[in-house]
Amino acid sequence: MYRVSFTGYRPEKLPFFGEDDPLCVDLKKRLSEQIRSLIKNGAEEFFSGMALGVDTWAAEAVLQLKDEFPQIRLNAVIPCPEQSDKWSVENRCRYNSILEQCSKKITVSPQYSRGCMLKRNKALVELCDVLVAVFDGIKGGTMQTVNYAKEQHKRTILISPV
C-alpha cells in the first residue's frame, strides 16, 4: 500500500476554456487512467490540496473510482479554513461535497497567511510516496511542489496539461 498526492494548475492557468473543452475532458480522462493504474499497483490513500482545477478533478476521479475499488481513501489537505470563501457558490458546493466524502481533513494553517499555500504543498509531498503532477514546466506553485518532491526523493509522475 502506498500514498499518492496531486498537484497541478488552477483552471485559469490551463490552455483551455471550461471543463467542457475537449482538451480538459482529455486531461481529466488521462488523470483518471493514471489514478486507476496506481490503484492497480497498490495505491490506496490519496491526498488532494482541494484547489480549483487539477486538485478538484483528481479528487473527483478518486471518488468515482471508489465504487470499483472500495479500499481507497481520499484525504483533503487544506491550506486554511477560508480556502473556498471567495469562490462561486457552485465551486463552494463542489468543494464541500468532496470534503464530505474525504476520510481525513488536514488543515495546515489555522487562518490564511501568505505562506499557507506553500505549507499545504509541502505537506502534500511529505504525506505521499508518489506525487502526480499536471505540469508543463511553467514556474509557479506546481513547479515548486514538483521540485520539493524531487528534493525529498519522491517518485513523481508528470502529466502534460495538453
Per-domain boundaries in the chain: 2-159
| Rounded percentage of the chain residues whose pLDDT exceeds 90 | 96
Predicted confidence at residue 44, as pLDDT, reads: 98
What's the pLDDT band for 81 if we cut at 50, 70, 90? very high
Predicted confidence at residue 146, as pLDDT, reads: 97
Q: Which residues, listed in sequence order, are joined to residue 155 by a DSSP beta bridge?
A: 130
Q: Which residues, listed in sequence order, are joined to residue 60 by a DSSP beta bridge?
A: none
Beta strands, E only, 37-103: 43-48, 73-78
Predicted confidence at residue 113, as pLDDT, reads: 94
Residues 51, 22: contact at Cβ < 8 Å? no
Q: At what angle do helices 89-100 and 54-65 cross, to 10 degrees?
A: 40
The Cα–Cα gap between 52 and 147 comes to 21
The Cα–Cα gap between 60 and 67 comes to 12
Q: Which grid cell is 5?
A: 498526492
H or E stretch covering 155: strand 155-159
- 2-159 has which fold? Rossmann fold (3.40.50)
Cell numbers 486538485: residue: 55
Please count the residues of the chain: 162
Predicted confidence at residue 47, as pLDDT, reads: 98
Q: Which grid cell is 116?
A: 499557507
Predicted confidence at residue 138, as pLDDT, reads: 85
pLDDT, average across residues 125-144: 94
The Cα–Cα gap between 19 and 26 comes to 10
Q: Taking 90 as the threshold, does the pLDDT of residue 93 lie above it?
A: yes
Q: Taking 90 as the threshold, does the pLDDT of residue 60 lie above it?
A: yes
Predicted confidence at residue 140, as pLDDT, reads: 86
Predicted confidence at residue 139, as pLDDT, reads: 83
